[in-house]
A and B are shown apart, each in its own frame.
Chain A
Amino acid sequence: MTTIAPPVVRTKESPRSSGGRGGSVVWMALPAFVWFIFFGIIPLIGVLALSFTTWNGFGEIVPSGLDSWRATLKDPGLPNALWVTFLIMALSWAVQTPLSILLGVFLATSKRYREFLAVLFFIPLLLSSAAIAITYKSLLDPSFGLGSGLGVEALNQDWLGNATLAMATLIFIVSWQFIPFHTLIYQGAVRQIPTSMYEASQIDGAGRVRQFFSITLPQIKYTVITSSTLMVVGSLTFFDLIYVLTAGGPGDATRALALLMYRQGFQANLMGPASAIAVILVLVGLALSLLLRRLGGRADESQSEGA
């Protein structure tokens, strides 16, 4: 990275000379720091505090001990939301990862098509979840959508009205939205692999499949962890898409944690229990990132740079 600066000078000089003058630049970091404390850190502490209160969203906030937690943990909606969140996480990971890797590998190695494919390929990344959800909602409408218009029986299902189909549709749309992003990450990683490794294996007579499993996959191991972390932790926060697409329905079939929180807080005006769910959301997210970090070993460096 810093090829110009000799490393010896760098390590010797930085603690002494800039450390001493550090005081003169501290003020520059203050606006960002104060702003982030105010709208990021204080709310994080606040959500924990609010989970021990009763508040309807506009009246007075009354401390109520463990009431909100008791109500939340007893609510059968919580295990369902955890299960739905887990399903979305696991299924969307299982669909996206192999496809993104394969597409990333192909795009990285075939220059001929990359330019053309790339232009159109990444359009889903630009669209808002709301726009995507509305597009699919119209496209899949049982009476007015593509299926009825084409008169194809197999396409003419109640895609969002049946619990299993709604989950499958959601996973499909999530993949549609995010595979381009992960393909982009994998494409970058594959292009970093030295060509000589492939040339050497080619001399040894390795075929394309063999090369994929013996060279490509091991070489992009850390990228797989980074991308998986983003997918898994990101899936916890799917809200816009589900909210517009199914609003958590049919019934509670797609009511993930974030939707349950919104429903309790802003629709049922139970801010205490909603805050408790938010705390659970933070804890699940933290646990998952730590777990994946452990799995990834030294991958955490690149991970923390990315997230």
Chain B
Amino acid sequence: MATITKHAPSPTVTGTPGSRLRRRARSYNWFGGGLSWVWLFIVMLPIYWIVITSFKTQDTYFVTNPLLPPSDFTLTNYKTVIENDVIRYFFNSVIVTVGAIVPAVAISFMAAYAIVRGAGNRLLKVMNSVFLMGLAIPLQAVIIPVYLIIIKLQMYDTLAAIILPSIAFAIPLSVLVLANFIRDVPKELFESMRMDGATEWGTLWRLAFPLTRPALVTVTIYNALGIWNGFLLPLVLTQSPDQRTIPLALANFSGQFGINIPAIAASVTLTTLPIVLLYAIGRRQLLSGLTAGFGK
């Protein structure tokens, strides 16, 4: 405090008395600020380019400055993408994501609840360490046996083939994060539920579920994004075009459209739009979801 008054006090200093941020009456951090803006520029440039290019016609694309907005705004490229079944791929992705995320979060939540409530039970301890170990198993490393299992289940080339392993690989982190949150629920609340004669199943729904809802949202977002953007499982476990999910479809568009860069740009823009819209609506939850487990 003393140091601040020694310098000329700036309005921000007096404006935020209780702030935990470093209150500095010193010069602006030019280095950090400069770096941030440069990086922001680097981040935004490809995004800006892909969006403006998607509205250009193929003819003008080659002759105009690639960084200027289109002079002849067109939606032809979007029409091309839609004519190439993008809607179907979109719904495939929705089916895979919802179909995997709902059971994954539900059974992870149950497991997390059991692990916290049944602390001391040997069987649950074993299960917990299996989940912890599971964090270290990369999907790439087990893709061949997963492929074999899917063939044996006669599910190859179906959306279910993508859903089943996606559920499994969402479980370890979900259980870990959810268990951490359920552990924070005061013990007395569980006790009073028990006194009232509630079953464990009832306690799970009426106590743990409402109290850990933010964590459930976080876990759902984190895993949903991973499944939505997943590439390896659809690549290995499906074959026919009508089972493609969005990322796989994009890779195919890129080959199919060849040098029609505006059409490729439209395919990327259109398929990314839903996620960016969700981001705009729930940025805070999304960001905490992206760092699931780190915030604590």
Contacts and interface: CB of A to CB of B under 8 A. Distances in A.
Contacts of B276: 123, 126
If over half of B's interface residues share one DSSP class (helix, strand or loop), that class is named, otherwise mixed; here it is helix
B186 A237 contact: no
B33 A110 contact: yes
B195 interface: no
Contact of B119 (A4, A19, A135, A226): A19
Contacts of A278: 140-144
A106 B32 contact: yes
Interface string B146-188: 1111010000000000001101110111011000100110111
Interface stretch (B77-85, B212-220, B228-236): B228-236
B288 to A, nearest CB: 9
A38 B232 contact: no
Interface in A96-121: 99, 102-103, 105-113, 117-121
**Residue from A135, A191, A265 with most neighbouring chain B CB atoms (10 Å):** A135
B131 interface: yes
Contact of A32 (B36, B175, B232, B290): B175
A39 B168 contact: yes
A170 to B, nearest CB: 15
If over half of A's interface residues share one DSSP class (helix, strand or loop), that class is named, otherwise mixed; here it is helix
Interface string B248-283: 101101100001010011011001100110010001
Given A4-B186, A237-B140, A282-B137, A122 B110 contact: no
A121 B40 contact: yes
A281 B272 contact: no
A184 interface: yes
Contacts of B144: 43, 46-47, 50, 261, 265, 271, 274-275, 278
Given A46-B144, A278-B142, 14 more contacts: A1-B296, A28-B110, A29-B111, A29-B115, A29-B124, A29-B127, A32-B131, A43-B146, A46-B149, A111-B12, A121-B39, A202-B3, A278-B140, A305-B176
B272 A127 contact: yes
20 contacts: A18-B120, A22-B119, A29-B115, A32-B171, A32-B175, A39-B164, A41-B130, A44-B137, A57-B147, A118-B287, A123-B43, A126-B275, A129-B231, A134-B253, A149-B66, A185-B291, A202-B3, A237-B139, A258-B140, A304-B132
A261 B140 contact: yes
Nearest to A132: B46
A70 B177 CA distance: 42
A24 B127 CA distance: 15
B231 A31 contact: no
B114 A281 contact: no
Contacts of A307: 135-136, 173, 293
Interface in A62-97: none
A172 to B, nearest CB: 9
B95 interface: no
B49 interface: yes
A202 B12 CA distance: 18
A131 B247 contact: yes
Contact of B290 (A33, A127, A184): A184
B9 interface: no
